[in-house]
């Protein structure tokens, strides 16, 4: 099987993975030596049930008029799913595992496409250039020029591009960001030994092999979310495999000032852990001299003292271990159907067959299938899909259901706003208008930004 990289980027209406949509997708496929093979690009028009986050419009600079043009989200998602599932495809970008990949996963789910096959099926897999760049930043920083922001070197892609002149064009244009990411990868790849070593972290078998000897003692965990104050790293110790999320391994943070204050009642506030999936960041490193150059000795001493305290207090240590290995995320009642990807598990064989029939059907046939769907989930997802993209095919009963849904997404009543799997509210027109007022009041807004907000405000006011 011929392996290829698919470098990609998306621009979206906001940060909500279940409720927002893609506005722009761009990708460049390369061979494993990073030679370009082909390019793909989609500009996607706004769905009638989506109200973009005003801050997102300011970030990518796309106005409300501009995003009402392009192909349908349905057509775009079909194309993207096909491109990412070409056998042997390794999809990657800059922080794609932190945002883009999950955003697409929800998009595939809402369109009744298999949401996970691009991760494992037919030789496919995923990587992410952001944690690779972070490792170069920590352990081989001279390979790049770094722009300082507020006295600290920044790992934002646009600043890396400004400092190294990898590509021309506006930041947050999807194709420009893909070109920058590919150029960055080519540059880092010149350090072939380190590049190949870091790529190994995205292969489950290699990652598991590397983690196994580190489970016996203290190790070093690298993660962007740890932040600049801790230089993106902290000492950890292995607690075990999670009891409920079976593909995750739990590591306890050891450089915590509050760890030795832990009682049986304060485990959740005094201790902190990381869940690690094999083949994905975080990166776990041995506590050898070559990897301890970027962490101050006081934190190492604190970690050693905390580790000693845990061994001297086996009862509380066991309680800490049990708590973290059994922790589960809260389940919220009345989660909207668009946000239930993680709540319902995989579709059954019959449901998969239904989805395959639905994909191959004409719009009128899709409506008949929607009416015959055996579950509320499938009937709701199909009704919304038809209403968004094939409204002329809605039957009278489906039209009533879709009208009820459109009223729900526009509700001004906070208690009736749809929520996602994490309990977060869907953006409604009145919430978007409030955000516009807040953004307009901020100082140093450019005229183009104020115009974007003004045009969007007028669009929202027409809806109410």
DSSP 117-140: HHHHGGG-EE--HHHHHHHHHHH-
* Average pLDDT over the chain, rounded to an integer: 96
CB contact set of 177 (below 8 Å; sequence gap of 6+): 9, 26, 93, 94, 157, 171
**Are the beta carbons of 336 and 418 closer than 8 angstroms?**
yes
- CA distances (Å), 195 to each of 147, 199, 236, in order? 22, 6, 25
The CA distance from 425 to 418, in Å, is: 6
Share of the chain above pLDDT 90, in %: 96
More confident residue, 1 or 188: 188
**Are the beta carbons of 253 and 182 closer than 8 angstroms?**
no
**Are the beta carbons of 42 and 70 closer than 8 angstroms?**
yes
Mean pLDDT of 369-379: 95
Residue 343 is predicted with a pLDDT of 93
Mean pLDDT of 194-207: 97
Residues forming a β-bridge with 9: 26
**Are the beta carbons of 16 and 426 closer than 8 angstroms?**
yes
Q: Tell whether the model's pLDDT for residue 368 goes beyond 90.
A: yes
- What is the gyration radius of the CA atoms in the chain, in angstroms? 24
Residue 176 is predicted with a pLDDT of 96
Q: 10 Å Cβ neighbour count for 382?
A: 23
Residue 11 is predicted with a pLDDT of 97
Q: Tell whether the model's pLDDT for residue 309 goes beyond 80.
A: yes
The CA distance from 175 to 83, in Å, is: 16
Mean pLDDT of 195-220: 97
Residue 444 is predicted with a pLDDT of 85
Residue 2 is predicted with a pLDDT of 94
Q: What does pTM read for this prediction?
A: 0.96
The model's confidence at residue 422, banded by pLDDT at 50, 70 and 90, is: very high
Mean pLDDT of 93-121: 97
The model's confidence at residue 246, banded by pLDDT at 50, 70 and 90, is: confident
Location of structure tokens 């405000």: 457
**DSSP state letter for 71:** B
Q: Tell whether the model's pLDDT for residue 92 goes beyond 80.
A: yes
Q: 10 Å Cβ neighbour count for 420?
A: 20
Residue 1 is predicted with a pLDDT of 82
Cis peptide leading into residue 375 (ω within 30°): no
Residue 210 is predicted with a pLDDT of 97
- CA distances (Å), 342 to each of 127, 138, 193, 338, 379, in order? 22, 34, 38, 11, 18
Location of structure tokens 């962007």: 224
The CA distance from 30 to 182, in Å, is: 9
- CA distances (Å), 347 to each of 82, 87, 115, 116, 212, in order? 20, 22, 11, 12, 33
Q: Tell whether the model's pLDDT for residue 464 goes beyond 80.
A: no
User: What's the gap between Cα 88 and its chain centre?
Assistant: 22
The model's confidence at residue 24, banded by pLDDT at 50, 70 and 90, is: very high
Q: Tell whether the model's pLDDT for residue 463 goes beyond 90.
A: no
Mean pLDDT of 288-300: 94
Q: Tell whether the model's pLDDT for residue 28 goes beyond 80.
A: yes
Tens-place pLDDT, residues 130-159? 999 999 999 999 999 999 998 899 999 999
Residue 235 is predicted with a pLDDT of 98
**Are the beta carbons of 419 and 425 closer than 8 angstroms?**
yes
Q: 10 Å Cβ neighbour count for 6?
A: 24
The angle, 0 to 180 degrees and rounded to 10, between the axes of the packed helices 396-409 and 363-372 is 80
Mean pLDDT of 373-394: 97
Backbone φ/ψ region at 99: left (φ over 0), alpha (ψ -120 to 50), beta? alpha
The CA distance from 147 to 153, in Å, is: 6
The CA distance from 446 to 438, in Å, is: 15
Residue 320 is predicted with a pLDDT of 98
Tens-place pLDDT, residues 247-282? 999 999 999 999 999 999 999 999 999 999 999 999
Residue 284 is predicted with a pLDDT of 97
The CA distance from 421 to 99, in Å, is: 16
- Sign of the dihedral through C-alpha 337, 341, 343, 349: positive
Specify the pairing of strand 233-241 against strand 249-253. antiparallel
Q: Tell whether the model's pLDDT for residue 169 goes beyond 90.
A: no
User: What b/e sequence results for 263-292 when a residue is b if at least 16 CB atoms lie within 10 Å of its CB, and e otherwise?
Assistant: eeeebeebbbbbebebbbbbbbbebeeebb
Location of structure tokens 């066991």: 318
The model's confidence at residue 289, banded by pLDDT at 50, 70 and 90, is: very high
Specify the pairing of strand 89-92 against strand 125-126. parallel
Mean pLDDT of 434-451: 93
């Amino acid at each position: 099987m011929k392996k290829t990289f698919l470098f990609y980027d998306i621009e979206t209406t906001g940060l909500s993975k279940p409720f927002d949509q893609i506005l722009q997708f761009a990708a460049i496929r390369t061979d494993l030596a990073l030679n370009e093979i082909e390019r793909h690009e989609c500009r996607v028009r706004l769905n009638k049930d989506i109200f973009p986050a005003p801050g997102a419009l300011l970030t990518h600079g796309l106005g409300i008029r501009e995003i009402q043009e392009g192909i349908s989200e349905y057509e775009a998602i079909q194309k993207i799913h096909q491109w990412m599932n070409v056998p042997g495809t390794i999809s990657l970008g800059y922080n794609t595992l932190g945002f883009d990949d999950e955003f697409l996963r929800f998009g595939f789910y809402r369109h009744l496409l298999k949401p996970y096959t691009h991760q494992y099926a037919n030789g496919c897999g995923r990587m992410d250039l952001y944690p690779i760049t972070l490792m170069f930043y920590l352990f081989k920083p001279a390979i790049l020029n770094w722009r300082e922001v507020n006295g600290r070197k920044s790992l934002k892609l646009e600043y890396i591009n400004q400092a190294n002149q990898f590509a021309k064009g506006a930041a947050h244009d999807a194709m420009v960001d893909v070109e920058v990411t590919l150029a960055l990868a080519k540059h880092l790849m010149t350090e072939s030994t380190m590049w190949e070593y870091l790529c190994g972290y995205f292969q489950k078998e290699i990652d598991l092999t590397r983690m196994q000897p580190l489970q016996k003692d203290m190790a070093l965990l690298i993660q962007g979310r740890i932040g600049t104050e801790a230089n993106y790293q902290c000492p950890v110790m292995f607690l075990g495999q999670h009891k409920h999320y079976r593909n995750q391994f739990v590591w306890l943070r050891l450089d915590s000032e509050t760890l030795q204050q832990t009682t049986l009642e304060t485990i959740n506030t005094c201790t902190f852990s990381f869940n690690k999936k094999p083949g994905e960041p975080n990166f776990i490193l041995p506590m050898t001299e070559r990897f301890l150059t970027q962490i101050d000795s006081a934190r190492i001493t604190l970690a050693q003292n905390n580790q000693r305290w845990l061994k001297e207090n086996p009862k509380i240590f066991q309680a800490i271990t049990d708590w973290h290995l059994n922790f589960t995320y809260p389940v919220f009642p009345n989660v909207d159907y668009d946000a239930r990807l993680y709540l319902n598990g995989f579709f059954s064989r019959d449901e998969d067959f239904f989805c395959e029939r639905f994909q191959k059907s004409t719009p009128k046939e899709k409506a008949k299938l929607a009416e015959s769907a055996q579950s509320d989930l499938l009937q709701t997802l199909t009704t919304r899909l038809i209403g968004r993209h094939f409204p002329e095919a809605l039957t009278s009963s489906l039209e009533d259901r879709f009208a009820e849904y459109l009223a729900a997404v526009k509700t001004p009543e906070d208690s009736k706003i749809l929520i996602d799997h994490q309990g977060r509210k869907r953006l409604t027109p009145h919430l978007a208008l409030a955000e516009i007022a807040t953004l307009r009041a901020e100082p140093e807004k450019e005229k183009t930004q104020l115009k974007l907000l003004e045009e969007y405000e007028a669009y929202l006011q027409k809806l109410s």
